[in-house]
Amino acid sequence: MNAIQKLTMMSCAVLTCGTVWGGEVKQLPKPVTTGGMPVMDAINTRASGRLYDANKPVDDQTLSEVLWAAWGVNTQGKRTIPTARNQQNMKLYLLTPTGTWYYDGPKNCLEKVNDENLIPLTATQEFVKDAPIHLLYVAKDDMWGRCHVGSAYQNVYLYAASKGLSTVIRGLIDVDALTAKLGLTGGERAIAHQTLGWPEK
């Protein structure tokens, strides 16, 4: 059973990870944060990939590590990316066909935000429908917010290069609709969408 199917089938909260959304909660496996490809090799092989094997799911362990690379907490108690004045004010969502999930990095869990499929609001290109993983980055729509998002998706690129995954960052999304659907306020906006999965053979 893949990560998206497991999220779909969940019907009760995991008590170790409380939620502010009032919905379902999924505790993620502890990410493996050692090993992998040397950083210089990952930088050298990093690339954007738009062809995904739609029949090969991404397992929970890999999903956990993808999310951790983007916006988790490292062994020093720091976020995996820097933020201006340490505001830590970026948000990361996982979009699935059966709902939207908020990633809580300090608790290493996903919290169900709604039961809506928001992927069509990102699917302005045909290849998007084949991607098993859809990340949506949210931040204040200013210089620093966009810098934070850039740091996060670059980390995912480097992880993908190390793991042999395919990924691409995208700006062709319905920003206004996504912002409204998520109920964002205080200048927060949907900034970018990142697809990820195993490459098509």
pLDDT, tens only, 60-79? 999 999 999 999 999 999 99
Tallying the residues shown for the chain, one arrives at 201
**Residues lower than pLDDT 50 in the chain:** 3-16
Residue 140 forms beta bridges with which residues? 188
- Per-residue pLDDT, 15: 38
Fold category of 3-197 in CATH: NADH Oxidase (3.40.109)
Identify the pLDDT of residue 66: 98
pLDDT of residue 57: 94
Q: Give, for 144, the enclosing helix (H) or strand (E).
A: helix 143-163
Domain boundaries, the chain: 3-197
Which residues, including other chains, have CB under 8 Å from residue 10's CB and lie 6 or more apart?
A: 24, 25, 26, 112
**What's the pTM value of the predicted model, to 2 decimals?**
0.90
pLDDT of residue 155: 98
Whether the CB-CB separation of 64 and 30 falls below 8 Å is answered with yes
Residue among 158, 165, 193 at smallest CA distance from 46: 158
